[in-house]
Structures are given as structure tokens and as C-alpha cells.
């Protein structure tokens, strides 16, 4: 099969229904600081998901036809143009876009919200929560610095508290209003009441933008069904790590604003006296677009749909239950949530272990057990501060461990063995202590005498490989 057949690229690499989705790097073995190797357990999927094998295959097949888009007469340029626009249509279908909605390809979720912030009408008030990822927090601060307004609501103690606070804020606002809310927390995994947020916003004439970076890989995101105005996501969290993201939704504010990135492709005409800007997605996709990134996202969307979202969700629920039961068996371990166990969650668990620096524990899990987890504040500092009751000044504090935690996250390639490796590693470390010796560094911890190849050496070898073949 080649890209020259008649099938749209977004449906050209479909999985066999009922089978797991293969990812690049499946079966990797991690070197251990104490010698030997073990199966690598990647439980840091919420940060960057592995590439689906079908996505890598599609990009590899598209590469020979990569060229400029929209204006080239050559056959490769025509194929690249079709790849970009068919990918746009595939993403629109995946997100349930309505007639007239636009799909703009960006770099990631942060870039998508920065684009939307650029397009807000003068005087727009943005309402968001302190529990948001920085991608859905800092662009609105920039909007306020440019003369707009940003109302930041406190981290809510319950879903109802979130709705009550929102209504209180909306009641006194005038002019254009945008409510920016996450679909699922990247820290706690809790799914937010987006439908109720949208209904409440509509009652007060406000619009809604949804951060679906974490939600879309785990649950169906349907703009039409949600009634939201925009949704943003990142390819690197959707098993398509090729440097692209998406802002999808209403066209009016996007078409009324000047280009987010003025340049070639964003215009219909340029003279010495001025220019005419394009309408539609091209208006904000100045320069040469990331065709391969768009292909990657579209194929990932098609893969998830073909695999069956309900089946993937059932599998994730089972793995999450196994993870939470295992974590509960580790003495001194506490899982941190905003709203308790009754709230729907995606496959994310953030925790601390009494007496352990999260950075040291994460380092030891990797070095001695081949388990990859995240530690820190997860680009959601106000939320983690609230969860741990440890707010820090902007310039930090003396104790590097204060106000940080560990996070384990599940994806389509996660196995029961991965979960068991994490739980087993936590038990071994907390009960018997680490086997290796660790020293503090400027960025955390390192193994004092490490038998593993250095990460820098591995990276250098990868970069040199083609040169010496």
C-alpha cells in the first residue's frame, strides 16, 4: 500500500480491531545501575506518549513525497498538500467539529492557547482556575498584560465548588468572556465537569475553550456534543510526537484577528503598501506548515478510533485499578486527589512517600528497577502547591524536595507487568532502601557509581550513527 492509492491518509494505517496498538520502542530493555538490564516500564506517558508504530510508518511513507504545500505544481507538492488537508479533515472528524469550525495546526497545546489568546477581541475577560496546566494559565496572563483581563479562580475543593465559583465570577462580567478549563487534570487524572461548565457559560453568554491535551488520548472529545467553542491538544501526548498540535473550533474570532504568525502562506496578496490576509486556517499557519506533524496526528486519531475508544477505556480502567491497589499497599505512600475516589479519572496517579525525596525515589526507580515516572510539579505549580499544602515563593525555596511529588501515568501500550514493576520497585525501595549509592546534583540526584551507558553517550551515538554507516 502506498500513499498514491485512493484512501485518505488518516485511514490508511488502521489497526486490527481488538488488538493492542503497537508503539515504537515496545520491548525496550533498560540498563540498570547495578548491572544487567530489565524490561523498561514507561509510566510517564502523560508527559510524552510513545509514538504509535502506525504513525511512524505513515510518516516514513509520507517523507518521500514531502514538499511545499498549496502553491507547488510538482506532483510531490500536490501530494503534500493533500496530506495536509486530508489530515486536517481527519482531525476535524476525530474532534466532532461542526460545519464552519476550523482546525489550525500549531506546535502544541501551549501554542494553541497562545494563538487563541492572540485572537481574543479587545476587552475580553478570560476566566480560568488555578488548577490548570501552565499551558492553560500563562497565555491568559499574557492577554491581561496586553490590556485584557484574567480572572483566576481558586483551586476548587469539589466539582460543585468549581461550578459555584465560576457562576460567581460570570455573574458580574460584561463584554466578551472566555472560560478556559481543562478536560482532565494532568496531575490528578480527575475528569472535569466540562458539560456543566459549558452549560453555565452559555447561560451568561460566555464562550469555552477546553484543554484536551490529557483528555483526548483517553476519552472521546466531541466539540458538537460538548457545545464548547474551542479545543486544544498536543500530538506528543496523542502518540504522535512530531512537533504538531491543534486548535479546533469557531472561526469568527480567529478570522477577525490579525495573523498569529505573519509570513508566507498567511496572505493572499502583498504589495509595497500593505497586504491582504488569508481567511481560514492559513491565516494563522504562516510559514511552511508541519505537514508530517499533521499526518502524524491524523493517523493517531484514526488509530484510536479504529481500536475502539470504549475498549481502550475499559482496559485503562482495569490498569488504573491495579495501579491504585498496588500503590495502596506501599507503606507511607499517599495518592493526591482534589475530589476523592468517586470522581471519574484517566490513567494518572500522583503520589508522595513519607520520608522520601520524590526526585531520589524517581531516580532509584529508574536506576534499579527500569521504571520511568515523572517527579516535580508537572507544569501545574499552583495545583501541586494546593495538593501538598506547600505554596512556595516565585523564586523557589531552599528545600528542593518541598512541594514536589511523583506521577505514574498509563497509556495504550501500558501492561500489567509495567504496573507491577512500579509497585514492586516502590516496595523494595521503601522496605529495604536503595542498593546503589546516590549523590545530590544541581538538578536532583545521580548514581554515584553507575554501570549504565550515559544518556549523553547514547544520544551522541544515535546522532552519529548515520554518519558512520
CATH topology of domain 56-305: 3.40.640
How much is the average pLDDT of 440-444? Answer: 90
Q: What is the mean pLDDT of the chain?
A: 92
Cβ contacts of residue 414 below 8 Å, gap of 6+?
42, 43, 45, 319, 347
pLDDT in tens, 52-64: 999 999 999 999 9
CA distance 208 to 128: 10
Q: Which of 51, 379, 390, 397 is catalytic?
A: 379
* Predicted pLDDT of residue 341: 83
Please state, for a pLDDT cut of 70, what percent of the chain lies above it. Answer: 92
Distance CA 95, CA 47 (A): 21
Query: Do the domains 11-51+307-468 and 56-305 sit in the same CATH topology, yes or no?
Result: no
Whether 301 is catalytic: no
Distance in angstroms (rounded) separating the CA atoms of residues 405 and 359: 8
Predicted TM-score (pTM) above 0.85: yes
Phi (first) and psi of residue 237, to 5 degrees = -100, -5
Q: Which helix (H) or strand (E) holds 21?
A: none
Band of residue 252 on the pLDDT scale cut at 50, 70, 90: very high
The secondary structure element, H or E, covering residue 163 is: helix 159-171
For residue 46 the three cell numbers come to 502523560
- Predicted local distance difference test score (pLDDT) of residue 10: 44
Q: Which of 51, 53, 33 is nearest to 42 (CA)?
A: 51
| Protein fold of 11-51+307-468 | 3.90.1150
Rounded CA separation 244/233 (Å): 9
The tens digit of pLDDT for each residue in 313-357 reads: 999 999 999 999 999 999 999 999 999 888 999 999 999 999 999
Exposed / middle / buried, residue 66 (Cβ in 10 Å: 0-12, 13-18, 19+): middle
Q: Does residue 12 have a pLDDT over 60? A: no
For the stretch 30-45, what's the b/e string if a residue is b when 16 or more beta carbons lie within 10 angstroms of its beta carbon?
A: bbbbbeeeeebbbbbb
Give the 3-state secondary structure of residue 446: strand
DSSP state of 437: -
Per-residue pLDDT reduced to its tens digit, 160-172: 999 999 999 999 8
Q: What are phi and psi of 187, to 5 degrees?
A: -100, -50
Domain definitions of the chain by residue range? 11-51+307-468, 56-305
pLDDT digits (tens, 9 = 90+) for 395-415: 544 344 568 999 999 999 999
Residue 396 CB neighbour total at 10 angstroms: 10
Amino acid at each position: 500500500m502506498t500513499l498514491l492509492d485512493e484512501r485518505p491518509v488518516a485511514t490508511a494505517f488502521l489497526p486490527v480491531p481488538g488488538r493492542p496498538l503497537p508503539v515504537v520502542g515496545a520491548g525496550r530493555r533498560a540498563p540498570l545501575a547495578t548491572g544487567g538490564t530489565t524490561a523498561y516500564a514507561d509510566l510517564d506517558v502523560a508527559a510524552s506518549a510513545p509514538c504509535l508504530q502506525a504513525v511512524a510508518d505513515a510518516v516514513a511513507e509520507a517523507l518521500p513525497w514531502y514538499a511545499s504545500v498549496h502553491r507547488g505544481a510538482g506532483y510531490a507538492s500536490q501530494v503534500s498538500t493533500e496530506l495536509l488537508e486530508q489530515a486536517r479533515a481527519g482531525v476535524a472528524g476525530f474532534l466532532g467539529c461542526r460545519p464552519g469550525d476550523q482546525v489550525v495546526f500549531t506546535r502544541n497545546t501551549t501554542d494553541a492557547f497562545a494563538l487563541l489568546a492572540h485572537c481574543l477581541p479587545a476587552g475580553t475577560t478570560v476566566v480560568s482556575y488555578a488548577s490548570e496546566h501552565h499551558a492553560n494559565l500563562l497565555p491568559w496572563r499574557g492577554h491581561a498584560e496586553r490590556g485584557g483581563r484574567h480572572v483566576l479562580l481558586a483551586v476548587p475543593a469539589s466539582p460543585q465548588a468549581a461550578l459555584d465559583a465560576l457562576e460567581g465570577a460570570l455573574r458580574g462580567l460584561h463584554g466578551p468572556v472566555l472560560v478556559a478549563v481543562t478536560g482532565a487534570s494532568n496531575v490528578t487524572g480527575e475528569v472535569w465537569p466540562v458539560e456543566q461548565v459549558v452549560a453555565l457559560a452559555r447561560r451568561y453568554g460566555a464562550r469555552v475553550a477546553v484543554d484536551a491535551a490529557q483528555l483526548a488520548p483517553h476519552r472521546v472529545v466531541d466539540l458538537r456534543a460538548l457545545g464548547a467553542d474551542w479545543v486544544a491538544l498536543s500530538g506528543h501526548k496523542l502518540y504522535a510526537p512530531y512537533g504538531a498540535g491543534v486548535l479546533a473550533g469557531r472561526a469568527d474570532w480567529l478570522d477577525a484577528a490579525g495573523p498569529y504568525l505573519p509570513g508566507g502562506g498567511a496572505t493572499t496578496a502583498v504589495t509595497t503598501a500593505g497586504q491582504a490576509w488569508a481567511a481560514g486556517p492559513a491565516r494563522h499557519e504562516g510559514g511552511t506548515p508541519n505537514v508530517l506533524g499533521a499526518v502524524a496526528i491524523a493517523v493517531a486519531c484514526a488509530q484510536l478510533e479504529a481500536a475502539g475508544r470504549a475498549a481502550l477505556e475499559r482496559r485503562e480502567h482495569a490498569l488504573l485499578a491495579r495501579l491504585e491497589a498496588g500503590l495502596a499497599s506501599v507503606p507511607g505512600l499517599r495518592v493526591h486527589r482534589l475530589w476523592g475516589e468517586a470522581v471519574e479519572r484517566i490513567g494518572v496517579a500522583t503520589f508522595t512517600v513519607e520520608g522520601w525525596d520524590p526526585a531520589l525515589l524517581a531516580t532509584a526507580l529508574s536506576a534499579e528497577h527500569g521504571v520511568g515516572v515523572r517527579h516535580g510539579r508537572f507544569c501545574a505549580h499552583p495545583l501541586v502547591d494546593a495538593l501538598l499544602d506547600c505554596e512556595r515563593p516565585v523564586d523557589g525555596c531552599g528545600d528542593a524536595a518541598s512541594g514536589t511529588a511523583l506521577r505514574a501515568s498509563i497509556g495504550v501500550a501500558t501492561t500489567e507487568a509495567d504496573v507491577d514493576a512500579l509497585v514492586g520497585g516502590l516496595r523494595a525501595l521503601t522496605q529495604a532502601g536503595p542498593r546503589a549509592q546516590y549523590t545530590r546534583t544541581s538538578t536532583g540526584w545521580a548514581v554515584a557509581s553507575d554501570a549504565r551507558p550515559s544518556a549523553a553517550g547514547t544520544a551522541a551515538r544515535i546522532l552519529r550513527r548515520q554518519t558512520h554507516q
